[in-house]
Structure 1
């Protein structure tokens, strides 16, 4: 049994990421198993995978042995760079492709951050500032210093950032529907998956557990049977845009969780051959963590999204 005191280089990390570095070579599934079993303790108490470690915390790390049958490297992570939109000594922003997780865990061996760390072995510090769903493409911020991570996460927490997404939805969005202010509740379904649902009725037995969530919607383009929206989120709830738009009666094209499954199947297997979710983090505005200068980043729509819009547009 080891007891590790959290220093400045580890403060602010999630417990699972900290352990994956401390227990190199141990399969991710085993690391998550010992966390769920309560074998890992933070300040003598049980903790969760997403527990944020603070300076001076004491983490009890249990002895973990590799199975005798393991003879090859476990959970191999390929080195990979991603399209860089902005980079300096404090942070970087990449344009994440759809279908790639931002980090490993929950059945995913590795994600953007693990591949970047492998591609940049000289980097002393690389941590995710925020997250995007695996199915979502677009701007993803990564801190290169602990001070930048803390400052940027404070901005996200205090809602001092501007995040706008492009979303193609089914149906004609009403021009007067500009604000969605509907609380959201996370829950685990019978399939063991994490889900989110809208809670509008105060008589809902779980209404007090739902969190207020606000999305601002603007129609960017109208297409026959579809609407391209600019969605700016004022809160950062899990699956917020996907559930808000679905709840409003306009699911996102290609959404495998909350979408119109028959429509998704037709658009993927028909002539259009569009096989992803049309949700793209296209604009990100924040204050630079060191200089305080206002930074506004833009990521153009991926080629496959532009092609779909062209294919759906009426002939001139």
Structure 2
């Protein structure tokens, strides 16, 4: 396929392009489809051109969540990126395998480490999916089923067949999966606070380099821009002056757990966006070098056999070691911490 974004001088000014969705791409979300073709373009810009209506599907406006079908015509506006960014985007991702929690012919689940993006974009030239594709050239249909924040570790599903991708993404969209995280928060969480039902609003703040930074905040229940967001919280154990929580999300909003917990006065330890920055400095000196949020357990129906699958990713050593350094662990059979 010809490049669809102009970058290196003295290439001509980028022009409008039209892509035809092939069979292998059918069923993908529009934003994921675009990110595969607009390599090097920040995610914030991809979402911006979708929201503005510059991206068209079969001549009509479309949303980021819309799924493309084989034969759809996708209009792409002119998009220019710097020669440096283009060269970086064109460089092949280094091959890398990740710890495998389960794998069969139609899907795999990995234990994603913190600090690794799930895909390229927004200043990151590659992520988990690009590295897996490079490591497994014979697997031609590897696709992310869902996402995790770059600084969040834990269970991540990758489809190996288009049918599995659609089935699993439908389960996520219809809230048929069970996603439970482990989060260490500042302070002692009240044990009777078990449900957070607060709408969230996603907005953009300028970061000084021409692209906005994505942020989320809690808004009132009567706010027309708010998206209903539900988080269930259970105290797993206290860790000195902190609390280790099991957090199950019933809606999958951007930064939902981070914003919901912070809105209750108990931000996640090490959260550099919604956390307590002064406390984060202290925590770093104590050995916590990352945000303490881990995608611990995921329940879903297998896309082929339809049996219930429950996967767990043990707490990473850097998080377990921090907990142990603050307070010796209390053995609890339901948690591998």
* Aligned match of 1:291: 305
**1:280 pairs with one of 277, 285, 294:** 294
Could you tell me whether the CA contact under 8 Å between 1:245 and 1:252 is conserved in 2? yes
Pick closer, same or farther for the CA change 1:4–1:178 going to 2, 3 Å. Answer: same
Pick closer, same or farther for the CA change 1:287–1:68 going to 2, 3 Å. Answer: closer
Is 1:307 the counterpart of 2:327? The answer is no
CA distance in 1, matches of 2:63, 2:329: 54
CA distance in 2, matches of 1:94, 1:198: 31
SS of match in other structure, 1:304 = helix
Q: CA deviation at 1:13?
A: 2.3
SS of match in other structure, 2:193 = coil
SS of match in other structure, 1:232 = strand
Pick closer, same or farther for the CA change 1:181–1:94 going to 2, 3 Å. Answer: same
* Aligned match of 2:59: 44
SS of match in other structure, 1:218 = strand
* Aligned match of 2:154: 138
Q: CA deviation at 1:197?
A: 0.5
SS of match in other structure, 1:149 = helix
Is 1:237 the counterpart of 2:253? The answer is yes
Note the aligned Cα RMSD (angstroms).
3.0
The gaps in structure 1 that reach 5 residues or longer are: none
* Aligned match of 1:199: 219
Deviations, residues 114-172 of structure 1 (Å, cap 9, x unaligned): 11111111111011111001110000001111110111111111111110000000000
The gaps in structure 2 that reach 5 residues or longer are: 1-15, 331-337
Could you tell me whether the CA contact under 8 Å between 2:185 and 2:268 is conserved in 1? yes
SS of match in other structure, 1:195 = strand
CA distance in 2, matches of 1:239, 1:217: 16
* Aligned match of 2:135: 119
Could you tell me whether the CA contact under 8 Å between 1:169 and 1:253 is conserved in 2? yes
CA distance in 2, matches of 1:107, 1:99: 14
Return the TM-score normalized by structure 2.
Answer: 0.82
* Aligned match of 1:80: 96
CA distance in 1, matches of 2:41, 2:95: 18
Deviations, residues 71-125 of structure 1 (Å, cap 9, x unaligned): 8983331111111101001110000011111111112111101111111111110
Q: Map residues 69-218 of structure 1 onto 2, 5 A cutoff.
A: 74-191=90-207, 192-200=212-220, 202=222, 207-218=223-234
Pick closer, same or farther for the CA change 1:154–1:17 going to 2, 3 Å. Answer: closer
CA distance in 1, matches of 2:181, 2:304: 26
Q: Which stretch has the larger CA shift, 212-221 or 182-191?
A: 182-191
